Amino acid sequence: MNRRSCLAIVLAAGEGTRMHSACPKVLHAVAGRSLLAHVLTALRAAGVTRSAVVVGPDHERVAAEARATLPGAEIFVQSERRGTAHAVLAAAPAIERGADDILVIFGDTPLIQPQTLEKLRRALANDAAVAVLGFRPADPTGYGRLVTQGDALQRIVEHADATEQERTIALCNGGLMAFAGGTALSILRRIGCDNRKREFYLTDAVAVARDMNMSTAALEVTEDEVTGINTKAQLAEAETLMQQRLRQAALEAGATLVAPETIFLGADTKLAKDVVVEPYVVFGPGVMVEEGATIRSFTYLQGAHVGKNVTVGPFARLRPGARLEHHVHVGNFVEIKEAVLEAGAKVNHLAYIGDARVGADANVGAGTITCNYDGAAKHRTDIGRGAFIGSNSSLVAPVTIGDGAYVGSGSVITRNVPADALALARGQQVVKEGWASRLRGLKSLGKKKAPVTD
Ligand code: UD1
Ligand code: MG
């Protein structure tokens, strides 16, 4: 672990107009996690000790997301958008408090890896005052170009200000930069706005450092790491790349993904070894699946904990708060929400279990519904260990079914059922001998109306 202290400054004041969305750009999600949270998570993994997030004037939601992801994150507001160096200086108080390394990172680059950030920091440890990430995009239009002499980075020229000659340079600025803490502010405060856009360019830090006889470094990375998201199309491309990474990591950790390209993982999905995921399964945020569990096709999981050797699906939906203990079976067309299914419980077909406990080894029949909502409030259903709920029963909450009790099929249960009792709550069956043949006789005589009662 790096012993140098590190402050990261995340620039997230952009409007994101090209997303055509009411949602601030950095709050759009990739693999169920916001772009900003991806960046902050990478920072934490890279051993960053303090983080400052620079937001625009009306971006309270962005600030809230930053605080929710990294509780210690400091928020600074850039009230006017006057360029990337200006944005960094909005966080000057954080820089003044001192750090060995300072990383500047854009809030819209979700694919950045902690190792890359560590590489930038290593350049600082090797005495660079400024280090930048270079990459070679297929189309360099719009990017700053890295002007080098031999191995040495001299300056960065923005596309808008570059000469024809400079525009032929293939090595472009990825945007992320690192500064030695001791000299960062003196460099940043020397940056002017004498350029086409009249903006304070962070990229001018390189030339300023050179003028001050400090050393600079450029490190090359692949394009995907530094790709910024500006459009919905780029958001979708980032999702594709992120899914490839997550699937690869899940396979390497010992999960079996039968058709990886059809399985969508959340950034925080945890699959233990010997988990089998059949084709076409979607994991939303907050899912953990323990060893030996099988998730069958067309299942959607979110905020759920799946225990050892559990089987879920096909066509099941686990919603937040679903907790399945070991050897539970959840079958087709079953929805579970905010409910614990204790070890060995079975809910095999067509059921809704919400706000409930299903005791160990209980069997919940097809078509069972926990009626948890009365139109105003939610109520709980408690099903005891080894209980048997007959098919097509409605359990009207709040209600308790005792251990080992039976509920007859088609019951509407509104009162508690004691342990080991049988509860039947349905209309009595009426049998009228010969009724059907009398109906057929009437029909043959041309009568249209069926004899309802006799
Ligand atoms: C920047 C780099 C360019 C690099 C490219 C890589 C500069 C001057 N140029 O250009 O060399 O090739 O990224 O993608 O840095 N922001 C603020 N406040 C501002 C301006 C920007 O917070 O006043 C934030 C934006 O929200 C964004 C980031 O800084 O997250 C970069 O700004 P952007 O306008 O996208 O810079 P580029 O023109 O792409
Ligand atoms: Mg940009």
Report residue 10 CA to chain centroid gap: 19
pLDDT above 90 covers a percentage of the chain that reads 91
Model's pTM, two decimal places?
0.92
Q: Is 13 in the pocket of ligand 1 (CB under 6 A)?
A: yes
Band the pLDDT of 452: cuts 50, 70, 90: low
Instruction: Return the pLDDT at 454.
Output: 58
The mean pLDDT of the chain is: 95
The share of the chain scoring above pLDDT 70, in percent, equals 98
Kindly report, residue by residue over 110-151, the tens digit of the pLDDT: 999 999 999 999 999 999 999 999 999 999 999 999 999 987
8 A C-beta contact, residue 313 and residue 322 = no
Q: Does any ligand 1 atom lie closer than 6 A to the CB of residue 204?
A: no
Confidence of residue 167 (pLDDT cuts 50, 70, 90): very high
Whether the CB-CB separation of 142 and 258 falls below 8 Å is answered with no
In 13-73, the DSSP E strands lie at: 29-30, 33-34, 50-55
Is the separation of the CB atoms in 133 and 118 below 8 Å? no
Provide the pLDDT for residue 443.
83
User: What confidence score (pLDDT) does residue 191 get?
Assistant: 97
Any ligand 1 atom below 6 A from CB of 264: no
- Residues 376-428: tens digit of each pLDDT: 999 999 999 999 999 999 999 999 999 999 999 999 999 999 999 999 999 88
Which residue is closest in CA terms to ligand 1's atom 1? 175
Question: pLDDT value at position 348?
Answer: 98
Of residues 402 and 447, more confidence is placed in 402
Task: Identify whether 349 is a catalytic site residue.
Answer: yes
Find the mean pLDDT for residues 87-93. 98
397 C-beta closer than 6 A to ligand 1: no
Q: Does pLDDT of 3 surpass 90?
A: no
Q: How far is the C-alpha of 190 from the C-alpha of 206, rounded, in Å?
A: 11
Q: What CA–CA distance (Å, rounded) separates 359 from 321?
A: 16
In this model, does residue 208 exceed pLDDT 90?
A: yes
Residue 1 has pLDDT above 60, yes or no: no
Task: Give yes or no for residue 450 having a pLDDT over 80.
Answer: no
Q: Does 451 have pLDDT greater than 90?
A: no
pLDDT at 58: 87
Q: What would the pLDDT profile of 315-335 be if each residue is shown by its tens digit?
A: 999 999 999 999 999 999 999
| Model pLDDT, residue 444 | 87
Give the residue whose CA is nearest to atom 3 of ligand 1.
144
Q: Which ligand is nearest to the CA of 176?
A: 1
Q: Is 71 exposed, middle or buried (0-12, 13-18, 19+ CB in 10 A)?
A: exposed
- The residue to which tokens 């570059």 are assigned: 162
Q: How far is CA 219 from CA 113, 135, 146, 210, in A?
A: 14, 8, 11, 17
